[in-house]
Structures are given as C-alpha cells and as structure tokens.
Structure 1
Amino acid sequence: MDVLALKLLLAPLLVVGSTLAGRRWGAHLTGILVALPIVAGPILFISYRLHGPDFAAAAAGSSLLGLVSLAAFAVVFARTAHRFRWPTAVAVSCAAVLAMDVLLSFAHVTALVALVLTLTATGVAMALMPNSEAVDAGRPTPPAWDLPGRAVATALLVLTVTTASAALGPRWTGLLAPFPVATSVVAAFVHAQLGRAATTRTMAGVLTGLFGFALFCLCVAALVRPLGGAAFLIGAAVAVAVQLLVVRIRNARRTNSATIRGNRRTFDDLQPRG
C-alpha cells in the first residue's frame, strides 16, 4: 500500500471503527479503543517505512515516554470537563500535554525506564479521576458530520506529524505520535453530546487503554531492528491481548464489588428494625 494512502486512510478508519464500537457498547469502551495505538501505530510504521528501523526504534521509545502526557491529558480533561464546556477542556488539556512533552523531551531514559514511568503515571492518573457514578440524561443522535469530522482530524494529525518527521527527528516524532488528537476529538464529542459522567468514563477507558499502548511501543522499540515490520504486528497482538486481560480483570473486580454491595444490602434488610 502507498505511504500516502496509509497516512490518509488507516488511522482515520481505525478511529471511526472504535467510535462505532463505543456507541454500541458504552463510553468506557470508546476510551479503551481510542487509546490503543490506532494513530501512533501508523505514524511509527510510516516513520519506519520512510526512515528505517533505527529511526523507528528511537521514535517508539519516545512514544512510550509520551504516554505520560496522554495520561495527564485524560485526567486534566475529565476534571476540567466537570466545570467547563468542551472547548475549554480541550484547550487546557492539550496545553498540559504540550507542556509535559517539552519537559519529557529533556529526559533520556531507556525503554524499560520509560515503561515504568508510563505505568506509574497511569496509576496516579487513575487515582485522580473524578467520580463517574452519575448518570447523564439522554443519548442524542450524533450529527451527520460526526464521523467524517473525526476521520479528517485524525488524518490531518497523521499527515502533519509524518511529513514533518524528518525535520523533527525521532525524539519529537515519537513524543508527538501519541498526541491525543483522536482522543481529544472523541472526548469533545462525548462531552458535548453525552455530558460529564460519560466523559469521565471515556477518559477512564483511555487510561485503561494505556497498558496495551505502552507494551505496543515497547515491542516496537525492542524488535523493529531485528524483525523489521513484523515488530508492529507483534506489538499490535500484544496490545490487544493485554487490553483483553485488563478489561477482564476490571470486569471481574466490578462484579465482585457489586456482589459485595448486594450482600451487604441483603444483610442490612435482614436485621431487626427498631
């Protein structure tokens, strides 16, 4: 497939697919899917095609570090969205990402250290997320331009970053690859259409998705030199497997918590009154 076709079609199609799946199965799944390497993966693969395995390995390591900024975006957007409308939330969150990326550009660490930093940042962000137990009213029908708008925004980001990659170098190409353009588009639409609680659940899904995203970047950074393009397939398989495991563990915990709450209510109901 032509490199330009990859730039303009692959990532936008993946974003549209994740959006449709999320509409069917909920806001949290939307966040998980959009946090998979559906934009960064194509950017890194195109960088590999254009500049070779050394460039791609260095960029993947920087992308792994850049996930710290994506974790910051999720928690900043969720908290800002509880007080402001989506334009302000997007502006504040993207500014936080850029500031974090500038700081991270001075950090020269190995891929394993970057993995530890990303996982730590994800855990901290999860602890800082606002409550999402409230129920938002209604689920309006998305406008006709919803999906095309998301696809165009994604294509523009991929095209811009990959075209500028030669001038940016592998470090900034990698740091900008996880830049939350798809995530910010999804978050803005969810906030505008479904409300604050759904936005928080979506951003919580984004944080859940970072586990698989991180291991994708680690696989590419470690394997692209010896294996070439196969490293991306291995990384994608690992990312999907990890996400399925994380979602299964999360669902099991939620089921156990619901069971415990139900047992407590039953116990309370059986207690004598007066």
Structure 2
Amino acid sequence: MFYWFLKFLALGPLLKLIFRPWAEGAENVPREGPVILASNHLSYSDWLFLPVVMPRRVTFVAKAEYFEGVGIKGWLQKTFFSGAGQVPIDRSSGSAAAGAIKTQLRLLEQGEICGIYPEGTRSHDGRLYRGRTGVARLALEAGVPVVPLAVINTNVVAPPGKIYGTFARPGVRFGMPLDFSRYEGMEGDRYILRAITDEIMYEVMRLSGQEYVDLYAQDAKKRDRETEREAAQDKARAESDEVWDEIRPV
C-alpha cells in the first residue's frame, strides 16, 4: 500500500513535476504475469525513476541491513525501502547472490516484476560493463521472459560519488521481451548462462547507446583506483624531487 502512496501521492508526482521523466517502449512490459527487467545501472536514483514511468509495481532486492534497523530511524528506513519497492535478500542461503536469486524466484512465483542490474554495481564512468550471469540463471529457473531496458541521464541528475548533479530529463527505454525457453533445464551450464547474459547486455547496450567494456564493473573500479593511486604517488615523488633540486647544494 505504501508503495502506491509514494508513487501516486508523495514521491512520484514530485519527481514528475521537477524532472519530467520520459519513457519509450513501456508497452513491451507485459501487463500481467511474472517478468524480469534487466537494466543498466548509472546512478542510485535509477530505482526511483523506473517505477514512476511504469503502471505495474517493480521490486528490487536490497541488503537485509536496510530492513533491520532499530528504533524510529530503523522503522522509517524499513518503511521507506519497502514502500519504494525493495525487499531484503534472503540470508538463509549460502551467499548474497544465492539469497538474491531465492528471493526473486519467490516474487516471480507470485506473478510480480523483478528488477535486476546485471552489472552488479553502478557504473563509475558512464560505460556499460559485463553482466553477471545471475540474471540468466534467474530467467531459466523461473521460466519467465526478460525485458532489457536502459535508464538515460540518471547519472547526470545524480552522479556517482557526488551530492548534487545537473538538471536533465531522465528517461527509460524498454526493449522487446527476450524468451529463453529454448534453454530450459540448462541453468547449470555456465556457457549457456554466459551466452544468455551477453545477449541481454547487448540489448541494453543498444538501448542505452553506452560504450561497452568486457570487464566486470567492480574490477574496473579497482583498476582505476590503483591507476589513480599510482599517478598520485608519481606526482608526489616528482614534487619531492623538485624540492630537493631547489635546496641541494651546487
């Protein structure tokens, strides 16, 4: 109930008034029945704008810690995340990834829409990174279609690592549903899972217009941090050498 309150009375109208989000191809999302929405991930605001442009409820999984706070603050946090269409990951499984799939399978069995970011984390530079195969496993185990989509300009509105962004009209572009029923029963084949995931990511790339990098986003972030650290160390050594040259006796 709180989800619909936020969408139609509280947060949704405010987002529409200020940002005027747009949508293309929303008719590609089935009007009923379970479906997976596979999206690129540009900003922490992605999960706010996607539900605004869709008539059906979209549910994402989130860290269980968001729902376990105590006191008034904990209650407010749990209420907000639940109302915003997020559910905690099932922590009875051996890992967070397995718990997320278990939670999403339960939601799909109930006929809901599950949103998933195959990249696993936000893009730190606006490029599209290699998808993780959880989306493929989920599609095969649940036996449901996957609708690829691309969020546009959310990284301008709310850039990663920054408090404030620049005004822009965010949008969502939906692709045609992808049917992977031809791979039924093959969710244990890692080559099949990779092929399905790559097909999904290709459609996301086509919809978003992003440059694709065949590297996991987390690995790319780590590599760039190391490069920045090495550059900073080189700069510090160069500055130290300059100071020494100035004070060294001739």
Greater strand fraction, Structure 1 or Structure 2 = 2
TM-score range, shorter chain: under 0.3
Q: Which has the higher contact order (CA 8 A, sep 6+)?
A: 1
Normalised by the length of structure 2, the TM-score is 0.26
Normalised by the length of structure 1, the TM-score is 0.25
Greater helix fraction, Structure 1 or Structure 2 = 1
